[in-house]
Amino acid sequence: MKLVRLLMVAAFVLLLASAASAAEITFKFAHIAPVVHADHRAALHFKAYVESKSQGRVEVSVHPAGQLGGERAMIEGVQMGTIEMGFFTAAVMTNFIPQIAVTNLPFIFPDQQTAYRVLDSEIGDKILSYFPEKGMIPLGWGENGFRDFSNSKLPIHKPEDMKALKMRSIESPLFLDSYKALGVDAVAIAWPETFTALQQKVVDGADLPYNTMALAKWLEVQQYVTLSGWVYEPMPIVANVDWFNGLPADIQQIIRDGAYEMQMVNRAMNAQDRLVTDAEAKAKGVEVVSLTAEERQAFRDKVAPVYEAWKEKIGAELVDAVVKATQK
């Protein structure tokens, strides 16, 4: 009997200790990137920052690689509050917030620094202002990066080179319209089927950020890469609006600060990963083409009709404002 009482006391003490150490707030942070990608590493940085700054009051559970569903399903989860936070590609977010499609217009940003300058300005804030009415609080800009072309047939220097290619497109009307403007035969193929389609030459090529091509093993089945930067792919960091607004003010600020830290780390990691990809591409004998300013302008001129066609969906004023800002 004495032993039983001692065991009960010990169990009670352990229970108290566990309760004392348990976080006051736990939440899920979801995204689509694989665990080796800069996006996931940045999400882990966010987790570490928030948990450290909150001194254990907050615990973040990061769910990578679509563990909680496809991007569309995860965004809906954030809207409903079944997923508290995450970051998602602009291409999929366009289904919920058409205005963010302006960031995916082909060749709208000439380089990363221009993209960062515009998104970190009042124009970026304007784009993010459409999120709360859709049930999401925007907290920053993550990124997948600039998407480049790869293929198995020839080096691409000008739009005419692409007419000989059948390209895989993501399942996005804007991307399909952009390929059509370039005179390309493009077909929408879901991500899980893309590597096999490239390997079996169902399609000749596709587009993806350069560093992600390496992670996805595309450099094993594609002989040519053109660093076109044809589409920039930001990933807004978002939280469910009711959940976030219900948090203590100090925790809200820690999460905001953590999202900013994540944004900056994500950008730095992507830049570093591109340098690593250069070495891997060289080792595999992949021919990498960097477009000259004149070559890039030829592509930009070719897709001009896409801008006009999408102004009605995005808003002409917003499109014109972003274009003007990129030219400063």
HEC sequence for 139-200: EEEEEEEEEEEEECCCCCCCHHHHHHCEEEECCCHHHHHHHHHCCCEEEECCHHHHHHHHHC
Q: What is the pLDDT along the chain (328 residues), one digit of tens a residue?
A: 444 454 344 444 343 344 445 899 999 999 999 999 999 999 999 999 999 999 999 999 999 999 999 999 999 999 999 999 999 999 999 999 999 999 999 999 999 999 999 999 999 999 999 999 999 999 999 999 999 999 999 999 999 999 999 999 999 999 999 999 999 999 999 888 999 999 999 999 999 999 999 999 999 999 999 999 999 999 999 999 999 999 999 999 999 999 999 999 999 999 999 999 999 999 999 999 999 999 999 999 999 999 999 999 999 999 999 999 999 8
Decide if 14 is inside a domain. Answer: no
Neighbours of 272 (CB within 10 A): 12
Residue 4 pLDDT: 42
Residue 312: how many CB atoms within 10 A of its CB?
10
Which helix (H) or strand (E) segment holds residue 235: the answer is strand 224-240
Longest dimension (CA), the chain: 88
For residue 49, what is the domain's CATH number? Answer: 3.40.190.170
Is residue 91 a part of any domain in this protein?
A: yes
Query: Residue 55, by phi and psi: left (phi above 0), alpha (psi -120 to 50) or beta?
Result: left
- Alpha carbon of 258 to those of 108, 217, 274: distances in Å? 29, 31, 24
Please check whether residue 62 lies inside any domain of the structure: yes
End-to-end CA distance of the chain: 82
Residue 60 domain flag: yes
Give the gyration radius of the chain's Cα atoms: 22
Whole domain around residue 163: which residue ranges?
Answer: 23-326
Work out the angle at residue 215's Cα, subtended by the Cα atoms of residues 209 and 218, and round it to the nearest 5 degrees: 75
Whole-angstrom Cα distance, residue 304 to residue 107? 10
The answer as to whether 18 is a domain residue is no
Q: How many domains does the chain have?
A: 1
Q: Confirm if 227 and 291 have CB atoms less than 8 A apart.
A: yes
Whether the CB-CB separation of 207 and 191 falls below 8 Å is answered with no
Cα separation, 257 vs 159, in Å, equals 42
Residue 9 lies in a domain: no
The reported pLDDT for the residue numbered 8 is 44
Beta bridge partners of 49: none
Cross-strand partners of 138? 238
Q: How far is CA 5 from CA 9, 11, 14, 15, in A?
A: 6, 10, 14, 15
The model's pTM is 0.92
Q: Does any domain span residue 95?
A: yes
pLDDT the model gives residue 21: 52
73 found inside a domain:
yes
d(Cα 91, Cα 88) in Å, to the nearest integer?
A: 9
